[in-house]
Amino acid sequence: MLVGSRAHQYLLFLGALLGVGYGFYWLAFNVLTFEITEPETRDFFNGFFGVLTSSAGMIGPIVAGYIISSLHGAKGYTFVFSLSLGLFLVAVLLSFFLKRRAAAGNYLFVRILKERNENRNWRLITNAHFFQGLREGTFVFIISVLVYVTSGSEWALGKFGLVNSFTSFVAYYAVSRLIKREYRMKAILLGGALLYGAIFFDRFPSDLSAPHSLCHHDRHCVSIAACSVFLLDV
């Protein structure tokens, strides 16, 4: 918000700042998840959390796209980013009211790395997270960029987010209800295969900004969102 239209001059700095922010956020989020849930309640928590996230995701992109498209210049972006910052600060303040578990010991990063050589499961799960990060940084990012570049419209990107989040809403609910602990590995395998297969769908249409485009490209949104949930929530 501070650099405005000069953001392209600070790409490395903004990228590094965003990466640091993601690191702090997700570390704290994952730790809190294990502190406030038990193995018996974690599936329900993940499913319910996904439903809430998808519900907000249906509202956020379409509203943001409308605001940005309606306001001239960078005013829409400034308003949306300011509103997002405010909501994020509220979420941070609410997190202080969570009751944390007592913890002892030191944070040993080197010990975590050495554990990969001693624990096969630990090595496999950290490798899986690494490749999941690559997917998040390429597949999800590229899809959004492709929609915007093809349509040239923030409104079209907002419609894409609406359909994507709605499908995630349905899929999260279904996964939390149907996928039991003994079927997690099979569900992850199925989700990965479907997600990989989604890239072979027909190319995106060139008229995403048209009124009928929501129906015309929803097959891509549905396939991407539904497959992603299998990977992210089981």
Q: What is the pLDDT of residues 190-204, one digit of tens each?
A: 877 777 776 666 554
Owning domain of residue 229: 37-70+138-233
Is residue 109 domain-resident?
A: no
In the chain, the largest separation of any two C-alpha atoms, in whole Å, equals: 58
Is residue 188 domain-resident?
A: yes
According to DSSP, residue 137 is labeled I
Is residue 115 domain-resident?
A: no
pTM beyond cutoff 0.85: no
Is residue 190 domain-resident?
A: yes
Is residue 14 domain-resident?
A: no
Check pLDDT > 80 for residue 92.
yes
Is residue 133 domain-resident?
A: no
Distances from the Cα of 1 to the Cα of 6, 110, 151, 208, angstroms: 10, 37, 25, 28
Is residue 87 domain-resident?
A: no
Is residue 199 domain-resident?
A: yes
Number of folded domains in the chain? 1
